[in-house]
Amino acid sequence: MTSRRAVLAFGALTTTFLVAGCAVSERARDQNDAQLSLWRGRLSIRVQADPAQNQLQDQSFSAAFELQGDANLGDLLLYTPFGSTAAAIHWAPGGAVLQARGETRSFGDLAALIKLVLGTDVPVTALFAWLDGQTQEVDGWQVDLSHQPKGKIVARRLAPALPAELQLLLDD
Distance CA 148, CA 127 (A): 12
Q: What is the pTM of this model?
A: 0.75
CB distance 115 to 127 below 8 Å: no
pLDDT score recorded for residue 30: 44
**pLDDT tens digits, 49-85:** 888 888 788 888 888 999 999 999 999 999 999 999 9
Q: What is the architecture of the domain spanning 2-170?
A: Clam (2.50)
- Between 72 and 114, the more confident residue is 72
pLDDT of residue 55: 79
Please tell me which residue, 53 or 8, carries the higher pLDDT value.
Answer: 53
* 103 bridge partner residues: 100
- The rounded percent of the chain whose pLDDT value lies above 90 is 53
Distance CA 128, CA 71 (A): 7
In this predicted model, what pLDDT tens digit does every residue of 17-58 receive, in sequence order? 433 333 333 333 344 445 679 999 999 888 888 888 887 888
> What is the pLDDT at residue 150?
95
Side chain identity at residue 11, one-letter code: G
- The alpha carbon of 75 is separated from its chain's Cα centroid by a whole number of angstroms, namely 11
| Higher per-residue pLDDT: 125 or 51 | 125
Q: What is the pLDDT of residue 21?
A: 35
